[in-house]
Structure 1
Amino acid sequence: MADLPDSGREVIGLVASAFTELPGTDGTPPAEVDGPIGWPGYDAACDRARQRTGERESVVAGTGVIDGTEAVLIAFDFGFLGGSIGRRTGDRIEAAFACARRTGLPVVSLIATGGSRMQEGMRALTQLQRIARQAALTRGEGLPQVAVLRNPTTGGGWATLGAGADVALAVGGAQVGFAGSRVRPPGDAGAYTAEGQFAAGHVDQIVEPQLLRERLGRWLRLLTAPSAEPPPPPRALAAQVASVAQMASVEPPTTGWDAVLRARSADRPAARSYVEDYFDWREDIRGDRSGGVDDGVLCGFGHRDGATVAYAAQCGTATTPAGFRTAARLVRLADRLGIPVLTLVDTPGAANDPEAERAGAGPAIAELFTAVASATVPVTTLVIGEGGSGGALAFAAADRMWITPDAYFSVTSPEAAARILKRDADDVPETADQLRLRPQDLVDLGIARGIVD
């Protein structure tokens, strides 16, 4: 089980320094007795919570420095009525987001809540609309939002500040889910955990408490320091072979079929090698936020030459709808934060089995095409392996694309083209030549800017 303290102020002390609490937002106490719906004993319960925690509400908000980056912090105190969200909780969260917009600071939410406060009825529930509006206004200002999901994170706190954040980090072992433990149906309890949400692509990373300050600091540095220049294409990496004498020529292939065989070689470097070589350090995001994960698509933000570049990379497998949606999520987020994007193309094509069709292959590809086409930040593409049809093109920039000597790009695979044209299997190599899919062909056709060394 997660071992962060219940106290919001103590959690702030673990991750931040130089914390300054926002001025009080409680104002004049309401005139009604026992809250807006007259819940018997509500005033007394609040008094006990104040005495027990030393806090006046379930949220502490202010500004602090996390590993060198200043941010607005919203920290829930689970000891105060289970970290529940009431009207005055809404007051404090609204003030925190307003402070972020006024100062241009990112927002970090340290969440531990059981949801909306029963004793305030619908007045409590409507605070979720209020929080969502504040988050949307702050998102519109191009300010990043990072959530830390403590134990537990359920109900409206998960469905607004948690799941609505740009990056969601979860403490290992935490209970995370819309349904709390007392109201969910019997069944798979693992679905309501940080690990379950990570597996489903709703959480980006699982973080152990002792590493939380460092991980938050890395994310804040990445999301607040965009590169001012379009990302250059990565250099071509050498094939991983037994000796230099066996290394494939860096010269472009002589035939189309030779280009296809090079791109399909197991010795050819894959996306992960390119990403590791390109960045000094990086952090990945995970999942499409719709219950899907494609481990064949690598997305995140990397630190290079003192600035941040986002990346979306295909890893050589057929890309599933979840992969396209995750890449689209990455591109949209990078565009909103002003962070340029690098994409790496390497796929035989989009997954085309019945499961992929039912999961919305077409709409998912369309979503990524739209995200790339509408991006206002520069997008740079390097084709590092197979460029298989529209499933590859969806990852590609229209005007800033390069290609390596051991890659190809084609309207469809030579095998598929031969089948479509009713040719024999023996005709596949000739068909590859006719498709003009070699790196030098792509340059001659004006599709690629050049072949990288």
Structure 2
Amino acid sequence: MPERPSAHAVVAALSDDFVELPDPAAGLPAGDAGDGPLGWAGYGEARARAAARTGESESVVCGTARVGGTEAVLLAFEFGFLGGSLGERTGDRIEAAHAAARARRLPVVSLIATGGSRMQEGMLALTQLQRVARQSALTRAAGLPQTAVLRDPATGGGWATLGAGADVVLALPEAQVGFAGSRVRPPDADPYAYTAESQLAAGHIDRIVPYGELRGALGRWLGLLGGGAGGGGAGCAAAEPPRALGDDADLPASGWDAVTRARAPRRPRADAYLDAHFTLREDLGGDRCGGTDDGVRCGFGRLPDGTTVAYAAQCGTPTRPAGFRTAARLIRLAGRLGVPVLTLVDTPGAANDAEAERAGAGAAIAECFDAVATSPVPVTTLVVGEGGSGGALALAAPGRTWVTPDSYFSVIAPESAAAILKRGADDVRTTADQLRLRPQDLVELGVARGIRPR
């Protein structure tokens, strides 16, 4: 990747047919005619030097362009102009760009390279963050997706508004990412904490993408996020559940047979279902609260007919609090964009170790229940393996749940049920039968709508 390429160079590398939006400050006195609203000595000269060096009149360039096959509004920061800092004129441009996006029903892409607010404009610069946050909120409420690309650096208010507030956050490798810039951190701070890699591990960004691959990744994301109705779930058709992939088409004869099949190592897992169901998919990463769960896949996929579907899939492991929060984040985002949701249930249950409790397992499960219950778009569920207690039920759609022949769904695992009832190990199989957890039992009980064929 070139060393901090200019805003126009980045736009040219990632998009086609860029047309700059009108400057809302056009016709106003030039910003470099004086020393700004605070009368900061030398500020006008500094702006003039920045303009001469970069060819820009402000720290952000805004316009429309096509990324892949999707038209979008792009906000590209020019780090060479006073460190990409935000001032009043920057706020004017960002506000106008979001207004244009809402008027034209276009997604917003923020290409961020900024050190934060502009010192020479004092509190008037800092309050631009409120303007930016409001515009982002209005665009979000309009059902339009926002994607951020974290260049280097992405710090201060630019990270805390346009960056961290975006629906999907991509970052360049080794980019500096954090609220505190390099000159204001504690001297003993761990420098790794302020990198894209650290933010990814903590669940605050979705993906690290090399510069040469960014155009394709951004185009895929915009194509997927633009595939919904937008503005909520009105008119959004429910997703069709995948067909079963397992080798066993016959239904299990006993409860324990159902459990054994669901726990079989050779049984198809979530990734196999997602790969077979979608022609293209992109994963979200992290719960935005400091956690990730490799046992949950969340993202957006494209069906053969071009329809976009959001998915949240358990991968057969105990689901951790971060997994539930990531799923809830996905379901709420899909609701705002008008994209139907597919959940794949496959977990022995929620993680119940001490770390999970400290991370708020109960609250995270409650958040997931709430997201499913209040979703403005239809949620469809397929149980593809183990359906273990509330940890599985939290991702299951009431009235729209299907099962595969090699799955089960139970109030609790048969072994645990036997232990609670003070039964011995020899009674586990009998308990499994009494729980009526087989696919055909679930249909008869009205818990599942049907058994998906191969």
Provide the TM-score with structure 2 as the length reference. 0.96
- Per the alignment, residue 204 of structure 2 pairs with 202
Q: 2:224 aligns with which of 222, 225, 233?
A: 222
How many equivalent residue pairs? Answer: 443
CA distance in 1, matches of 2:23, 2:240: 48
- Answering whether residue 37 of structure 2 is matched by residue 36 of structure 1, we say yes
**2 CA distance for matches of 1:312 and 1:103?**
30
What's 2:177 paired with?
176
Between the aligned partners of 2:419 and 2:34, the Cα distance in structure 1 is 77
Between the aligned partners of 2:34 and 2:68, the Cα distance in structure 1 is 44
| 1:229 positional shift | 3.0
CA contact (8 A) 2:246 2:406 kept: no
1:398 aligns with 2:393: no
Work out the CA distance in 1 between the residues paired with 2:250 and 2:191: 56
Cα distance in structure 2, aligned partners of 1:441 and 1:120: 68
Identity over aligned residues, as a percent?
68
- Are residue 361 (structure 1) and residue 361 (structure 2) matched? yes
Question: What is the CA-CA distance between 1:173 and the residue it aligns to?
Answer: 1.6
Query: What SS does the corresponding residue of 2:175 show, helix, strand or coil?
Result: coil
The question of whether the paired residues in 2 share the 8 Å contact of 1:4 and 1:11 is answered with no
Q: How does 1:3-14 map to 2 (within 5 A)?
A: 3=2, 5-14=4-13
| Distance in 2, Cα, partners of 1:449 & 1:3 | 55
* 8 Å contact kept, 1:282–1:302: yes
What are the residue-to-residue correspondences of 1:57-76 with 2, within 5 Å? Answer: 57-76=58-77
Question: Which residue of 2 is the match for residue 126 of structure 1?
Answer: 127
State the match for 2:265 in structure 1.
Answer: 266
1:282 paired to 2:281: yes
Find the aligned partners of 1:144 and 1:370 in 2 and give their Cα distance: 22
The equivalent residue for 1:242 is none
For 1:311, what is the secondary structure of its paired residue?
strand
Partner of 1:232 in structure 2?
240
For 1:117-169, what per-residue CA distance to the aligned partner results, in whole angstroms no more than 9, with x for missing partners? 01111111110010000000010000000000001100000000000000000
5+ residue gaps, structure 2: 230-235
What's the CA shift for 1:29? 2.4
Residue 33 of structure 1, CA deviation: 4.1
Query: Shift of residue 4 of structure 1?
Result: 6.0
Question: What whole-Å deviation, never above 9, does each CA across 1:56-91 have from its counterpart, x for those lacking one?
Answer: 000000111111210000000000000000000000
Q: Using the TM superposition, give the Cα deviation of residue 108 of structure 1 relative to its aligned residue in structure 2, in angstroms.
A: 0.3
Paired with 1:363 and 1:394, the residues of 2 have a C-alpha distance of: 12
1:187 Cα deviation from its structure 2 partner: 2.9
Is residue 2:215 matched to residue 1:213? Answer: yes
Alignment of 1:127-206 (within 5 A): 127-185=128-186, 186-206=188-208
Alpha-carbon distance in 2 for matches of 1:238, 1:424: 32
Distance in 1 separating the partners of 2:445 and 2:348: 21
Aligned partners of 1:299, 1:190: CA distance in 2, in Å?
Answer: 26
Structure 1 runs of 4+ aligned residues shifted over 2 Å read: 2-6, 29-33, 226-229
After TM superposition, give the deviation of residue 226 of structure 1 in Å. Answer: 2.3
Residue matched to 1:47: 48
Structure 2 SS opposite 1:135: helix
Aligned to 2:255: 256
Give the corresponding residue for 1:78.
Answer: 79
SS at match of 1:292: coil
Q: Secondary structure of 1:92's partner?
A: helix
Q: For each residue in 1:278-325, what CA deviation from the matched residue of structure 2 results, as whole angstroms up to 9, or x when unmatched?
A: 000110000000110000000000011211000000000000000000
Q: Cα offset for 1:225?
A: 1.1
CA distance in 2, matches of 1:439, 1:268: 16
CA contact (8 A) 1:147 1:161 kept: yes
Structure 2 match to 1:113: 114
Give TM-score scaled by structure 1 length.
0.96
Q: Does 1:420 align with 2:428?
A: no
For the Cα contact (< 8 Å) 1:6–1:112, is it kept in 2?
no
Structure 1 residue runs of 5 or longer lacking an equivalent are 240-248
CA distance in 1, matches of 2:103, 2:268: 46
Deviation at 1:43, TM superposition (A): 0.8
